[in-house]
Amino acid sequence: MPSDQSRQALHDILENAWWHASSRPGSTRQVSPLTGARSTLLLACLEIISEASSRLDQSIRDRHPTLPWRAIMGSGNVYRHDYDNVAEDQLWRIVNNSLSVPIAAMEQELGARPK
């Protein structure tokens, strides 16, 4: 059973990852709405995912060794301090390719999708 802090972190990760997954643009790069305010929202959500990952109990991270926890936790520093050097293409790849595994892992930890 995760600690209260970890349970909240799991919910924070899921809420922000689901936002990306549910608002994911179409399959072609040309229709990507990841500009302006949307890019800013995406960066904010990725910061939250990064921060929440660092608040997870180590035992949770240990149960999901295929996730790049160090990179996830460290990425928040880039999003916070070097955000103007994060390329839109990087954000596009994260939204399209990198969220399904963490979503599945966090859902597994919570036992089901939280309401």
pTM: 0.78
What's the whole-number mean pLDDT along residues 5-29?
75
Average pLDDT, the chain: 79
The radius of gyration of the chain's CA atoms, rounded to the nearest angstrom, is: 14
Provide the pLDDT for residue 30: 38
49-96 pLDDT, tens per residue? Answer: 999 999 999 999 999 999 999 999 998 888 877 767 777 777 777 777
Residues 6+ apart with CB under 8 A from 7: 110
